[in-house]
Chains A and B, each alone.
Chain A
Amino acid sequence: MAAVALRVRDLGKHYLIEPSTSRSHTLKDSLWRAARSALSLRKAARGGRWDLWALRHVSFELEPGTVLGVIGRNGAGKSTLLKILARVTDPSEGEGEFFGRVGALLQVGTGFHHDLSGRDNILLSGAILGMPRAEILRRFDEIVAFAGVEAFLETPVRHYSSGMYMRLAFAVAAHLDSDILLVDEVLAVGDAEFQRRCLGKMDEVARTGRTVVFVSHNLAAVLRLTHRALVLDGGRTALLAPTGEAVAHYLDQHSAAGGERLWPNPEGTHSQAPFAPLALRVRDESGAIVGAVRAHRPFSVEVDYLLRSPVHGFRVGIRFQTTGGDEAFTSFDSDAKADDPPDGVRPPGRFRSRCTVPGGLLNEGHFLFGLQARGWRRGLFTDEHALAIRVEPGGPEGLWTDHRPGPFRPLLAWQVEADDGQEAR
């Protein structure tokens, strides 16, 4: 009967930001303020406070079985929206309606207690997340098997490795059997193997026809898992559209920055990290900084960075990803010097690493550049979404008009010969 699983209208969340550093004021402060305003020693103190709408005028409607992705930069209101939907915090205006049981996964390990055993934590966390006890008991073995912690069920989870802890926590959450599931960035934690399992499980959930709202920075995951996506920008809805279109819009906003990503000046900060990125740029053949390149023309990518201390086996790499979530390739600045010893030392200082990507390699579409810096056997820095560019169709006019799947469209050396030996033409 219900053609709608979830409907929100004009949702908004307002905060009054107070300049004082402590958020929980003391009774004394309140008494003082009351006394002062009563005696009108000062105008009713609103001084120094300002309003912040973390979210405003957000409306959408989801049919049962829809998987909605929510994307946007940090501070765009993604988490606020999810917290309101999860009823953790209250909207300041607007309203929402759900039809069905709602489960919220805003954190891996909600309700876990470190002093309790794995078994106890399954019961505890399951109940707090909203699973009826009978259901937890029925699926207990399944949860334990999924987490792979059979041997440690009676061990307090504070003795678990972080990987085991994460697996168990996710296993409980993954078996939450609600009609509407709200998921926040849960996948951002854990190693690659764990993330792969989480994505697999999410895929499964999405296919069982449940309604899911999925907030993530991981565009690849959003593209893979969701049907529609909501792009938030400064707390407002920038676009609500089928996922491919929404992600393209989001990336256009990124590349509208002009093919350049600058990091705040690291000088003066007290960071001890050996690597600090300064800038990442895309330049066309003429050297201009561009957010879009033509598919058949070469372009270059350059990274400016600061090394604060000598690093063994230092290298900087760019990882190319399609917005379809596929890895295209990764290239390191050490590739060109394959003969150098891999553990040579790079001295401190400012550097620029740059490479040229040949024309006729990438297919048209959007690409994400991840920036990474590594030392000998250790990672120093990773930003999976450092920059995005658009590759526009190119080539001789009128020839490349069809869309071809895949990240690459290399220009191969084709030869066309008439085969006179067999069938005549």
Chain B
Amino acid sequence: MSRLVGSDPPAGPARILLRPARGWNALRLGELWEYHEVVLVLVWRDIKVRYAQAALGLAWAVLQPVASMIVLSVIFGRLARVPSDGLPYAAFALTGLLPWQLFQNGVQRSSLSLVQNANLLTRVYFPRLSLPLAAVLGTLVDFVIAALVLAGLLAWYDWTPAPERLVWVPALAALAVLNTLGIGLWLSALNVRYRDVQHTLPFLLQLALLASPIAYSANLIPEGGWRTLYGLNPMVGVIQGFRWALLGGPAAGSLLAISAVVGSLLLVSGLYYFRRVEWSFADRL
């Protein structure tokens, strides 16, 4: 994309420079901030369209995690008797679903964000990063609603999370967002060129669900090399972290560290890849 190269001293008008952009480009996250109103209005539009038009409205954001929790509890908790680190299975499952659904919805929506907004991309300029970013931020609404449901469930179990662990929840949520955004950036940019992405994505997310400790505990995986390999799925550490913070589950230190490293790598590489190919979006859509 053409770039915005700084501005003149405050008095002068903004100077915008157009020129061919090829190769690796600066991330220019500052420009993203200049356009934060566009990002916010895109988030608002997605939420409004998603919920205002659906017959059940915001109830969907409650139904999705609750229904998944019930199915998991019956099949894995009751019938298969999968061990849940000694925690009540329903709370165990819902705590895992909380970050997982943020990840799943965020990856899904951000991957489609460029293709679905082709009419904007070909008509008006704004930093292209705004679209996948807005898609991921939009899922935070569902996340907050699901968190309230979880709070209700914990209250029903008469369980109060330890305050010194509870304070870590925002950081864990931020790590989940970071993972989601990193993968979303890669997939959204790839999907412009290879539409295969959007066709295979539901399948890949299903595999990822099985490869994440939602229905079972990460402690089922043998310690050592296997568990480290398992931890390369960046949501593993996040999910175990949520259980540690909210339910007093086992510590997830090393898994969390792997998550943070993998997630950061995904985000940084995703940003650079996105910026490298974004000049071609308008011509390919």
Contact = CB atoms under 8 A, between A and B. Distances in A.
A15 B17 CA distance: 22
A272 interface: no
A92 interface: yes
A87 B2 contact: yes
A27 B200 CA distance: 11
Interface residues of B, number: 41
A26 B194 contact: yes
Interface stretch (A93-101, A213-221, A276-284, A342-350): A93-101
Contacts of B279: 89-90
Interface in A342-398: none
A30 B193 CA distance: 10
Given A24-B195, A97-B16, A132-B37, A90 B21 contact: yes
Interface in B111-137: 119-126
A1 B13 CA distance: 9
Contacts of B45: 113, 116, 120, 124
A88 B121 contact: yes
A111 B121 CA distance: 10
Interface in A1-52: 1-2, 8, 11, 15, 23-28, 30
A107 B193 contact: no
A128 B38 contact: yes
B16 A102 contact: yes
B41 A88 contact: no
Interface string B259-285: 000000000000000000001001110
Nearest to A132: B37
Given A23-B284, A127-B37, A99 B195 contact: no
Interface residues of A, number: 50
B19 A95 contact: yes
Nearest to B2: A87
B12 interface: yes
Interface string A167-180: 00000000000010
Q: Which of B53, B120, B123 has the most CB of A within 10 A?
A: B123
A95 B17 contact: yes
Interface in A93-125: 93-102, 104, 106-107, 110-111, 113, 115-116, 120, 123-124
7 contacts: A8-B18, A24-B195, A25-B193, A26-B196, A99-B15, A107-B119, A120-B45
- Sort A-B residue pairs by CB-CB distance and give the 8 closest, nearest first: A96-B18, A87-B125, A95-B19, A127-B41, A98-B16, A100-B13, A90-B279, A27-B194
Interface of A: 1-2, 8, 11, 15, 23-28, 30, 83-102, 104, 106-107, 110-111, 113, 115-116, 120, 123-124, 127-130, 132-133, 179
Given A91-B20, A99-B12, A99-B16, 8 more contacts: A28-B196, A88-B122, A90-B282, A95-B20, A99-B13, A113-B49, A124-B44, A128-B42
